[in-house]
Amino acid sequence: MNATMKGDDGRGALHAARAVAVVAGIFSLVVCIVIIANFLQTRAADPLNSKELEALIGELRERRDDGELREAVRALDLLARKAYFTSRGFNRAGAYLLVGGITVMLVSLKAAATLRRKLPDPKRLAPLEEPTERKELARRAVTALGGVLVVVSLGIVWTAGRNEWDALDGGIEAQPAAEGPGEAVSAAAYPTREEMLGNWPFFRGGEANGVGHTANAPVSWNVETGEGVLWKTAVPMGGFGSPVAWKDRVFLTGADEKVREVYCFDAETGELLWRRRIEGIPGSPETAPAVTPDTGHAAPTMAVDGRHAFAIFSTGDVACLDFDGEVVWARNLGVPENHYGHSSSLVTHEGLLLVQLDHGGGGNVFGLDAATGETVWRTAREVEISWSSPALVAVGGRTELLVNANPYVASYDPETGDELWSVDCMDMEVGPSPAYSDGMAFFANAYAIMVGINIETQEIVWEAYDDLPDVSSPLAVGGLLFTATSTGTVTCYEGATGAVHWKQEFDEGFYASAIVVGENVYLADKSGVMHIFKAAGEFTAVAELPLGEKSVCSPAFLRGRIFIRGEKNLYCMGTGDE
Amino acid sequence: MGLTGKAAAAAFAAIFVCLMSAGLYGVERFPAPEFDSEYRLPETSYPGTAAETEGYIALGALFAALAAATWLAHKRRSRKGIFALMIVSLLYFGFYRKGCICAVGSLQNVTLGLFDSSYGIPLTVLGFFLLPLVFSVLFGRTFCAAVCPLGAIQDVVVLKPQRVPGWLEHALGMGAYVYLAAAILFAATGTGFLICRTDPFVSFFRLGGDPTLLAVGAGILVVGIFIARPYCRYLCPYGVLLGWASRFSKWHITITPDECVKCRLCEEACLFGAIRKPPPPKEDESRERGVRRLAVILALTPVLVLGGGWVGGHLAGPLSRANTRVKLAEEIRELSEGRVEAATLEGEAFLASGAPRGELYAEAASVGDRFTVGGWTLGGFLGLVFAWKLLGLSVVRTREDYEMDRAACLSCGRCFSYCPREQERLKKAKEARA
């Protein structure tokens, strides 16, 4: 059994196999050297980087009409390409030869190995392993491999982190800001509807639809003489968010690409009570997204609910502060993809902070727990970017959250986020917010359409296409609808039919939204002049009151006072009588 | 390492270098000539799609090869015949067909077909997936023995085979299950065909390709000189399925043609560690201890399944980044936040298309969800496989003869000639013919 499996006669074959293997090996080696040499030579003579050709092409660019030179370039280019492809063909042929040579060598080596193989000698076989010991070792090895797999997997998970788009899905949990967690406030502690209407908690008032419920709003002031101006305070940083006010506090935001701040002013004196920088929020981008100067990083208006003030910025950072300026909670909702900058303002409803976040990364309306910032509900929307703000209106015994966006306008249950209805009618880049009065909801956008929708049947009752607002939101009150365009046209419609009562041209355009208080409509143009006219079917001017600086913000009304944000200052107009 | 091993290793290093140099050429693209007048570029021509009949011919060839391999293994018991057929298969399915269609990769097509209703599996691909499995469940892994080009290219370089200790064989064999799970996850989520993308041998069949894969392939072949068929034993995901099918095979080859005389000559014959020896008459471990261990592993099985699922579910996020849509979504997101300045070609194309980003993000989120579900499921599966393996290593087997491990045996026929009963059979047959 010590002989080869082929017996002694196999020795000759074994020698032959070895000899063939050696010859084939040498052949393969030679071919291999030739191929590598040719490869290096071809690389060195790269026709794409031929200096001669480049020089000729350079000459040809200067002497474009030289036909002889052109032919020379072509001839040289063709030659270089031929040489290149010939070389490649040479290499390929060499590869085939090499494969052939190595195959012969392998077959020979294989044959030699087979001829050399001996049957085992039973006397020299190792003693049988103890199966128990062998299995124990195998169990340990399998267990160890499993452990290694788990550790490696967890290492990958640990180092890879979360997927970025999770943030768009509302996946990031609310995080207390660096300032520390605040006191949770129960829903019962939130103010009643009457309290909300009696203050100025949102952009465009207590229902965010432009209707003020205060009394004794001033109709005259003079900034130059100071008559009717209670105070004027510089705002530390710029922003286009309008003021909101609660009892003795007025709130604003300001920001640039690096800093985001919230300001609280004394409504009586105009003193800046505190300013709070919003920072250290998990998920907040290191660099603020690019925005246009006319939108900025602090375009949305804040919301207040009597205990807390809420702010949102272009970064998607949302912060809740108490009235002493301490951050209760803060979180990042995902950086809005918005080429002008995020501008939708906030509203609150019975313990929920409602956020319209329609951006390039997806449309969403969030219902966040106002006390903790956690997502209570989120409704995804198939819409384009919207700069509009939601309106919170009372319809019969219920409250609806009206939202304007392209391609559809919609209403949501503010408590659950359920879509109550939607109408596919809107187009273009939507800026104006919805209006509501007497069972009719109004949605408008420049270069697109304005519709009057019966809120019970969701029927489009009427449509209009001329003189539509671009930024300024429509105002509905007493069966009438008022719109103001960026070019200075103010139009009064019959809310039920869309019939035009009057149209008035002004020298300046309007970005601010119209607010009605009592019988008067207040509408500031871009130069800062406050136009006051009667909320009636005939145009009757009441006053035109310059601010002395530009203003694109909507005023806030509180107990006989008007708070107006100019380009640099916050003003309080009034007589001091509530 | 003997002369044979060194020579073979050097040969593979050389072939790798040369194939890579040829392959790298193939990756380059030649720009059009820089003429700015008169020259008219010829119209681009594209190679026609492979004729459908070629696929059916390949399927027919597969069936014929499987039938021939089965006949050679079962009836002729001829290692030489199996080896010859293996070379033919290597040339046809490997070098001529350039490794495609491939039964190993076909399991991804089937997976994608199961999870994506819009994907129709070509009949030929389905045939390539099913035929080897059908033959395995009837006759054992004769596909691995003589038909699979991936196995064949490794088999021809087995020159100085060394035995791998049994405990290590068991542990390394788990790699194939991990690869299988990953391949299914990637295919089911529409991320890609992982097996094809990481096929270490297709570059050899095509005489060029990705340098990294060529290097990996060459490395496996160099290892394969000493460790027979390492890819088949420790990585092949299709081998897992074939092993399951073969375990229940109705007719499987046997080492001896008739009876085992327990001569121990075949003990070292199998290069793949697939021969199971009879246990000694008395186990050195008490029955009580064995039963207790078995009970512990059984009790731990749900923990392993849930733990595997948990790990898989968490691994899903990082793995999902291999998906092109997820990758694109992340890039677009980073671009929009200014975290990266330059877009890739894909990013530029997406931005230029004007497609809504929201849809891309939603798609990425959907892929992520599928990865999570798949991660939990396949992680749980791997947990179960590990538990099953531990159980298998804890059960006392009763066996009297030297037998094949039906799941691990590749039906290569190497062990036949080691059996004295086989030698006797051959002698009798020779005498009968004379």
Cβ neighbours, 10 Å, residue B286: 9
Q: Is any Cβ of chain A less than 8 angstroms from the Cβ of B277?
A: yes
Residue A498 has phi, psi (to 5 degrees) of 85, 5
A145–chain B nearest CA distance, Å: 7
Q: Is any Cβ of chain B less than 8 angstroms from the Cβ of A149?
A: yes
The continuous run of DSSP H or E covering B237 comes out as helix B237-247
Q: Is the pLDDT of residue A128 over 90?
A: no
Distance CA A2, CA B374 (A): 56
Distance CA A350, CA A345 (A): 17
Q: Is the pLDDT of residue A255 over 80?
A: yes
Distance CA A566, CA A50 (A): 66
Q: Do A128 and B280 touch (CB under 8 A)?
A: yes
> A-chain residues within 8 Å CB-CB of B417?
5
Q: Do B357 and A164 touch (CB under 8 A)?
A: no
> B-chain residues within 8 Å CB-CB of A120?
264-265, 267-268, 418
What pTM value is reported for the model? 0.58
Q: Is any Cβ of chain B less than 8 angstroms from the Cβ of A4?
A: no
Mean of pLDDT values over A212-216: 83
Q: Is any Cβ of chain B less than 8 angstroms from the Cβ of A151?
A: no
Q: Is any Cβ of chain B less than 8 angstroms from the Cβ of A95?
A: yes
**B225-269, pLDDT tens digit by residue?**
999 999 999 999 999 999 999 999 989 999 999 888 888 888 778
Q: Is any Cβ of chain A less than 8 angstroms from the Cβ of B8?
A: yes
Cis peptide before B297 (omega within 30 of 0): no
* Tokens 């980003």 sit on residue: B357
CB distance B377 to B185 below 8 Å: no
* Tokens 């009757």 sit on residue: A540
**B111-149, pLDDT tens digit by residue?**
999 998 888 888 999 999 999 999 999 999 999 999 999
**Could you say which residues from 41 to 70 on chain A have a Cβ atom under 8 Å away from some Cβ of chain B?**
48, 57, 64, 70
A91 contacts: CB under 8 Å, gap ≥ 6 = A35, A38, A39, A42, B21, B22, B25
* Closest of A547, A546, A544, A543 to residue A571, by C-alpha: A547
Percent of chain A, pLDDT > 90? 56
3-state secondary structure of A302: coil
Q: Is the pLDDT of residue B208 over 90?
A: no
* Tokens 């060459």 sit on residue: B218
Q: Which two tokens stand for residue B151?
A: 């196995």
Q: By CA distance, what is B336's nearest residue in A?
A: A337
- pLDDT value of position B50: 55
Cis peptide before B255 (omega within 30 of 0): no
B154–chain A nearest CA distance, Å: 12
Cβ neighbours, 10 Å, residue A562: 27
Say if residue A538 is exposed, middle or buried (CB neighbours under 10 Å; 0-12, 13-18, 19+). exposed
- pLDDT value of position A202: 95
Q: Which amino acid is at A20?
A: V
Cβ neighbours, 10 Å, residue A378: 16
Q: How many CB pairs below 8 A link A and B? A: 206
Cβ neighbours, 10 Å, residue B284: 9
Q: Is any Cβ of chain B less than 8 angstroms from the Cβ of A339?
A: no
> A-chain residues within 8 Å CB-CB of B311?
150, 153-154
- pLDDT value of position A75: 86
- CA distances to A107, A189, A256, A287, B1 from A326, rounded to whole Å, are 82, 18, 21, 24, 74
Q: Do A160 and B318 touch (CB under 8 A)?
A: yes
| Strands A489-494 and A500-505, sheet pairing | antiparallel
> B-chain residues within 8 Å CB-CB of A133?
284
Q: Which residue has the higher pLDDT, A81 or A364?
A: A364
Q: Do B15 and A91 touch (CB under 8 A)?
A: no
CB distance A374 to A174 below 8 Å: yes
- pLDDT value of position B14: 61
Q: By CA distance, what is B340's nearest residue in A?
A: A287
* Tokens 């849509």 sit on residue: B325
Q: Which amino acid is at A349?
A: H
Cβ neighbours, 10 Å, residue A216: 15
Cβ neighbours, 10 Å, residue A156: 15
Residue A533 has phi, psi (to 5 degrees) of -140, 165
Q: Which two tokens stand for residue B194?
A: 């992982």
In a mutational test of the A interface, the residue from B1, B6, B12, B18 whose CB has the highest number of chain A CBs within 10 Å is B18
A93–chain B nearest CA distance, Å: 10
Q: Is any Cβ of chain A less than 8 angstroms from the Cβ of B321?
A: yes
Mean of pLDDT values over A414-434: 93
| Strands A211-212 and A515-517, sheet pairing | parallel
Q: Give the distance from CA A43 to its chain's centroid.
A: 48
Q: Is any Cβ of chain B less than 8 angstroms from the Cβ of A128?
A: yes
**A69-101, pLDDT tens digit by residue?**
888 888 888 888 888 788 878 888 888 898 889
| Strands A480-484 and A489-494, sheet pairing | antiparallel
> A-chain residues within 8 Å CB-CB of B382?
149
| Interior/surface letters B37-61, b for 16+ CB within 10 angstroms, e for the rest | eeeeeeeeeeeeeeeeeebeebbeb
How many Cα atoms sit within 13 Å of B167 on the Cβ side?
16
Of A91, A109, A119, the CB nearest to B159: A109
* Tokens 């999902």 sit on residue: B320
Q: Do A92 and B160 touch (CB under 8 A)?
A: no
Q: Is any Cβ of chain B less than 8 angstroms from the Cβ of A224?
A: no
Q: Is the pLDDT of residue A176 over 50?
A: no
Of A95, A106, A135, the CB nearest to B157: A106
Of A74, A95, A154, the CB nearest to B19: A95
Q: Do B14 and A98 touch (CB under 8 A)?
A: yes
Residue B320's region, left for phi above 0, alpha for psi from -120 to 50, else beta, is alpha
How many Cα atoms sit within 13 Å of A114 on the Cβ side?
16
Distance CA B168, CA A94 (A): 41
3-state secondary structure of A327: strand
Q: Do A105 and B11 touch (CB under 8 A)?
A: yes
**A290-336, pLDDT tens digit by residue?**
899 899 999 999 999 988 999 999 999 999 999 989 888 998 888 89
- pLDDT value of position B68: 96
Percent of chain B, pLDDT > 70? 86
Q: What is the DSSP string of A102-162?
A: HHHHHHHHHHHHHHH--PPPGGGSPPPPPHHHHHHHHHHHHHHHHHHHHHHHHHHHHHH--
Rg of chain B over CA atoms, in angstroms? 25
Distance CA B376, CA B371 (A): 8
